[in-house]
Amino acid sequence: MIILGIDTSGQTASCAVMKDGAIIALKTVMTKRTHSRVILPYVTSLMEELSIGLEDIDLVAVANGPGSYTGLRIGVSTVKGLCYDNKRCIGISTLEGLAANCLCAACRIVPVMYARPGTVYFGAYISDGERLIPQQPDRVGSVDDLLALLEGAQGRTVLTGDYAAETITRLGGGEEVVLAPAAARLQSASGICQAALWHPGEDTDARGLFVSYLQITKAEKDLNDKLA
């Protein structure tokens, strides 16, 4: 089985190809250019280097949230375009993809991403070294909510994501909560590919692929404020 993974949910633009459970190619770039200008050329060049075409891809997996509103729409729209002719695709939680980067740590993994001042996206997963089991649904909450989750837990926890280092600082240290390596704290399409293996039967076509923001967008908030 060949899986093409795409992640444009954060600062990185990332694409990867997994074949029979192994990542055979990965391109991840932290760029200031709009992801819409770079992700499709990255995918094209990656496939050319592997001498494969879209017809060889069995499944396209994409980070569908949470994350940057614009970045998520770019990634999902790109995959909808690639899969317009009934190719199968699947949306994967950005947080699950981040946790998958730390899969070899057989303990609790908490991915955390900055949302806005005082607010973060976070999840909690248990890893047995081979797969992840969600401990709670992904959510958006206050930094205090996150700290309460971490302070009230027992056992080793690995923090990953773009707000992980800040969280460690806020906790004030400790031996039970540790920071993932820098390379594992960035969104990566390799984690999206890995997580896709844990969701058999959940794939869809382009029409069934949607973004999961976990919170209302600014446009929706502004509209609600006007109607209030």
> Do 101-185 and 2-95+187-217 have the same topology in CATH?
yes
Tell whether the model's pLDDT for residue 23 goes beyond 90.
yes
Q: In 3-state terms, what secondary structure has residue 16?
A: strand
pLDDT for residue 220: 53
Q: Alpha helices of 83-197 — where are they, by DSSP H?
A: 94-100, 143-151, 164-171, 189-196
Q: CA–CA separation, 27 vs 12, rounded Å?
A: 10
Spell out the residues 6+ positions from residue 182 whose beta carbon is closer than 8 angstroms to its own.
none
Query: Which CATH code for domain 101-185?
Result: 3.30.420.200
Report pLDDT digits (tens) over 168-187. Answer: 999 986 778 999 999 999 99
Can you tell me the mean pLDDT for 89-102? 98
* pLDDT of 219: 54
DSSP 8-state secondary structure symbol assigned to residue 204: B
- 64: tokens are 């569908």
pLDDT band at 124 (very low <50, low <70, confident <90, very high): very high
d(CA 97, CA 168): 21
Every domain of the chain and the residues it spans? 2-95+187-217, 101-185
Q: Does domain 2-95+187-217 have CATH number 3.30.420.40?
A: yes
